[in-house]
Amino acid sequence: MDSILQSIEDWCRELLVSGIMSILNNIFHSVNDQVGQIATQVGTTPAAFQPSVFAMIQTLSENVIMPIAGIILTFIACYELIQLVIGHNNLANFETWIFWKWIFKTFVAVTLITNTMNITMAVFDVAGHVVSQAGGIIGTSTAIDDSALASMQTTLEAMDIGPLLSIFLQSFMVQFLIYILAALIFVIVYARMIEIYLMVSLAPIPFATFGNKEQSMIGQNFLRSLFALGFQGFLIMVCVGIYAVLIRSITFTTDIIGSLWGVMGYTILLAFTLFKTGTVAKSILHAH
């Protein structure tokens, strides 16, 4: 009878250990895969991220928004000419060079608006280059080596059924929460790219304001916002690099539950800091 009970106990222990190790492998692989995708996606330009979506955005910008921007540019050019004339005492103190000045400013404004897409893509090309350079320096792998997993399995095999059942339930809960956080991180990264597409679609309108000193603040703020979105990718890479270092610093030994909840805590911290990267980038570049 004792041998039968011992066999059942050994079978239950083996089942729990294999279940816990399967969950641990899923957790660490999920975290590492998600972090690897972040590092790849933030360095991708809008044109390469979703080419079909970018083509649609470019078509809308050039065919729908550009005519509106042309009307705004015409109004601003006329307003600027009136301001130049009034500024010289209603032609009482007339100088012909002001018309050359107006022609030059209008030429620059037209050149900017006709090259809107090239300028906006140049911003993200620069930001993408910075992110790729940072990727060669910042380590983004959160993979746990096989020796740590083998050590955890040895620790689990020496435990009784009660503690194993507790670890199994907690590890299952941590796995569920990790999946939720992975989905949240996915949303954050993709929301940034969607925001970039939205900004690019309306880009001709703020670019049309560069012809006037007072209205040009709209265009300047738009450019700052573009650079903030671009360099947000760099800040995301920094957050991922810090997260990878923190994960590798966890000692996966006898306190398996403590290690798991440590991974959970660092993943929550990663999601929170990713939310803040946009605000930090805009505050640094004074964009709003």
Which of the pair, 70 or 83, is modelled with greater confidence? 70
Query: What is the pLDDT at residue 145?
Result: 60
260's CB contacts (< 8 A; 6+ apart) are 24, 27, 170, 171, 174
pTM attached to this predicted model:
0.79
Nearest CA-CA partner of 188 in 272, 287, 280, 70: 272
Averaged pLDDT score across all residues of the chain: 79
Q: What average pLDDT does range 247-265 have in this prediction?
A: 72
For range 165-183, the mean pLDDT: 79
| Residues with Cβ within 8 Å of residue 191, at least 6 apart in sequence | none
Taken in order 210, 126, 35, 142, is the CA torsion positive or negative? negative
> Is the model more confident about 258 or about 53?
53
Q: How many CB atoms lie within 10 A of CB 69?
A: 21
Helix (H, G, I), strand (E, B) or coil at 209: helix
Q: What is the mean pLDDT of residues 40-68?
A: 86
**What element of type H or E holds 130?**
helix 116-135
- Note the pLDDT of residue 161: 74
User: How deeply is 252 buried, as exposed, middle or buried, from its count of CB atoms within 10 A (0-12, 13-18, 19+)?
Assistant: buried
Confidence at residue 93, expressed as pLDDT on a 0 to 100 scale: 62
Sign of CA dihedral 49, 116, 196, 64: negative
Sketch the domain layout of the chain as residue ranges: 2-284
Q: pLDDT at residue 1 above 60?
A: no
User: What number of other Cβ atoms are within 10 A of residue 80's Cβ?
Assistant: 20
Residue 28: phi and psi, rounded to 5, are: -70, -35
| Residue 92: pLDDT band with limits 50, 70, 90 | low
Cα(164)–Cα(17) distance, integer angstroms: 7
Of 9-23, 69-83, 210-224, the one with minimum mean pLDDT is 9-23
Write out pLDDT tens, residues 184-241: 878 888 888 899 999 999 999 998 888 777 778 888 899 899 999 888 888 888 888 8
pLDDT in tens, 96-117: 677 777 788 888 888 888 888 8
How far is CA 254 from its chain centroid? 36
CA angle centred on 59, ends 196 and 68, rounded to 5°: 85
Does residue 139 register a pLDDT over 60? Answer: no
Report pLDDT for 219. Answer: 84
Check the CA dihedral 193-195-198-200 and report its sign: negative
